[in-house]
């Protein structure tokens, strides 16, 4: 869902840049307050894992693929602000080193796949776990639903940005983006649940780290 | 040196980078929508290229070039996010 250069008009690109810069700046402040020794290796592994996993496009229907965003996984394990920081790092490197996502669209990409994906998934995950009670099952269900929603909401935001930029009317872009990403989100949910289940089986204490 | 949990996590990430040539090459959701709805041509080419399209430049074998790009990117991200963690963590008295 990386928006390339040329898809967004100046106003949309500018506003999302300002919001994302503010969000990342605030993430730095929050991380500075709460990040402890134990979070550091998990930050590194999450950054590496999300970058690598994003390369693995999986087919979702004839002629279309999707890949993990990873914001949900990072936010559930480390907390939403730390998740935003990790996603910003991934998106900045993808943009400048791999030419995936345009430089002018970096603000929008960090907004959609960083800020929105991390916060939507984190709070849905928390809501599911508190409704169902803390358990292995509720963690997996919350992770799946939160991750699915992160992709869906990011796709809706992307459609709105495209419509505001005059690329495609909202009535066209919204159902198209939401439809295909409702499928891609299933992949995001499954991968997130599998990784959470692996973490619970091997290092359950990592899920108990203070959320940043 | 004893293998720590996060060494295993990092190895898994590099493992994913190494299998990246298996990824589907079909367009992703946004590209598909941009093609179907007729605005794909609005995309501009990047102004500079370093490792475009996750293919390491100057490597003849495309699978190898993809693996190299993946391994380099995974390493960059590990250093960056680990380093950011070290910089930002609270100073324990």
The conformation of residue A6, written as its DSSP 8-state character, comes to: T
Q: Per the domain annotation, does B31 fall within a domain?
A: yes
* A12-61 pLDDT per residue, tens: 999 999 999 999 999 999 999 999 999 999 999 999 999 999 999 999 98
How close A16 comes to chain B (CA, Å)? 18
Quote the CA–CA distance of B54 and A120 in Å, as a whole number: 29
Question: Could you tell me which chain A residue has the CA closest to the CA of B86?
Answer: A40
Average pLDDT score over residue span B43-50 = 92
Contacts of B44 in chain A (CB under 8 A): 4-6, 102
In a mutational test of the B interface, the residue from A48, A154, A195, A200 whose CB has the highest number of chain B CBs within 10 Å is A48
Q: How many helices (H) and strands (E) does chain B have?
A: 3, 0
Q: CB burial class (10 A; 0-12, 13-18, 19+) of residue A161? A: buried
Q: Per the domain annotation, does B18 fall within a domain?
A: no
Task: With beta carbons less than 8 A apart as the criterion, state whether A72 and A49 touch.
Answer: no
Residues in chain A: 212
Q: For residue A195, which of A128, A133, A143 has the smallest C-alpha distance?
A: A143
For chains A and B, what is the number of CB pairs under 8 angstroms?
Answer: 207
Q: Per the domain annotation, does B85 fall within a domain?
A: yes
Average pLDDT score over residue span B31-35 = 96
Q: For residue B55, which of B41, B40, B43, B72 has the smallest C-alpha distance?
A: B72
- Quote the radius of gyration of chain B (alpha carbons, Å): 18
CATH topology for A10-208 is Arp2/3 complex 21 kDa subunit ARPC3 (1.10.1760)
Percent of chain A with pLDDT strictly greater than 90: 99
pLDDT recorded at residue A109: 98
Overall pTM > 0.90:
yes
Query: At A5, which helix (H) or strand (E)?
Result: none
pLDDT recorded at residue B92: 58
Average pLDDT score over residue span A140-163 = 98
Q: Per the domain annotation, does B22 fall within a domain?
A: no
pLDDT recorded at residue B28: 96
Q: ipTM for the complex? A: 0.95
How close A131 comes to chain B (CA, Å)? 31
* A60-69 pLDDT per residue, tens: 988 999 999 9
Residue in B28, B30, B42 closest to A6 by CB: B42
Inspect the interface and report whether the beta carbons of B9 and A3 lie closer than 8 Å.
no
Residue B56 scores a pLDDT above 70 = yes
Quote the CA–CA distance of A49 and B49 in Å, as a whole number: 24
Question: Could you tell me which chain B residue has the CA closest to the CA of A154?
Answer: B30
* A165-198 pLDDT per residue, tens: 999 999 999 999 999 999 999 999 999 999 999 9
Q: In sequence order, what are the beta bridge partners of A66?
A: A58
Contacts 24+ apart (CB under 8 A), B62-67: B62/B21, B63/B21, B66/A55, B66/B20, B66/B21, B67/B17, B67/B18, B67/B20, B67/B21
- Structural domain count, chain B: 1
Residue A84 scores a pLDDT above 80 = yes
pLDDT recorded at residue A62: 82
Inspect the interface and report whether the beta carbons of A57 and B23 lie closer than 8 Å.
yes
Average pLDDT, whole number, for chain A? 97
pLDDT recorded at residue B3: 85
Quote the CA–CA distance of A87 and B32 in Å, as a whole number: 23
Q: Per the domain annotation, does B57 fall within a domain?
A: yes
Which residue segment(s) compose the domain that B70 sits in?
27-93
Residue A208 scores a pLDDT above 60 = yes
Residue B93 scores a pLDDT above 80 = no
Inspect the interface and report whether the beta carbons of B19 and A173 lie closer than 8 Å.
no
**Which residue spans within A16-156 are E strands per DSSP?**
58-61, 64-66
């Amino acid at each position: 869902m990386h928006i390339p250069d040329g898809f967004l008009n100046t106003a949309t690109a500018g506003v999302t840049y300002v919001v994302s810069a503010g969000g990342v700046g605030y993430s730095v402040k929050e991380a500075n307050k709460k990040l402890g020794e134990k979070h550091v290796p998990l930050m590194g592994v999450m950054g590496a894992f999300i970058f690598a996993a994003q390369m693995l496009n999986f087919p979702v229907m004839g002629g279309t693929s999707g890949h993990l965003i990873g914001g949900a996984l990072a936010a559930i394990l480390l907390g939403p602000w730390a998740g935003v920081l990790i996603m910003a790092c991934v998106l900045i490197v993808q943009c400048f080193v791999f030419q995936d996502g345009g430089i002018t669209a970096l603000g929008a990409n960090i907004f959609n796949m960083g800020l929105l994906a991390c916060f939507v998934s984190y709070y849905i995950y928390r809501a599911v776990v508190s409704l169902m009670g803390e358990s292995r099952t509720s963690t997996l269900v919350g992770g799946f639903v939160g991750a699915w929603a992160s992709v869906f909401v990011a796709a809706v935001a992307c459609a709105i940005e495209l419509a505001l930029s005059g690329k495609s009317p909202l009535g066209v872009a919204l159902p198209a983006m939401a439809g295909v990403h409702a499928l891609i989100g299933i992949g995001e949910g499954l991968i997130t649940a599998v990784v959470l289940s692996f973490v619970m089986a091997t290092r359950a204490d990592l899920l108990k780290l203070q959320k940043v | 040196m004893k293998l720590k949990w996060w060494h295993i996590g990092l190895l898994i990430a590099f493992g994913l980078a190494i299998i990246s040539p298996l990824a589907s090459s079909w367009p992703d959701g946004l590209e598909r929508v941009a093609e179907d709805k007729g605005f794909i041509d609005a995309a501009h080419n990047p102004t500079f290229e370093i490792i475009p399209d996750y293919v390491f430049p100057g490597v003849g074998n495309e699978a190898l070039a993809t693996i190299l790009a993946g391994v380099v990117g995974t390493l960059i991200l590990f250093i960056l996010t680990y380093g950011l963690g070290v910089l930002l963590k609270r100073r324990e008295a």
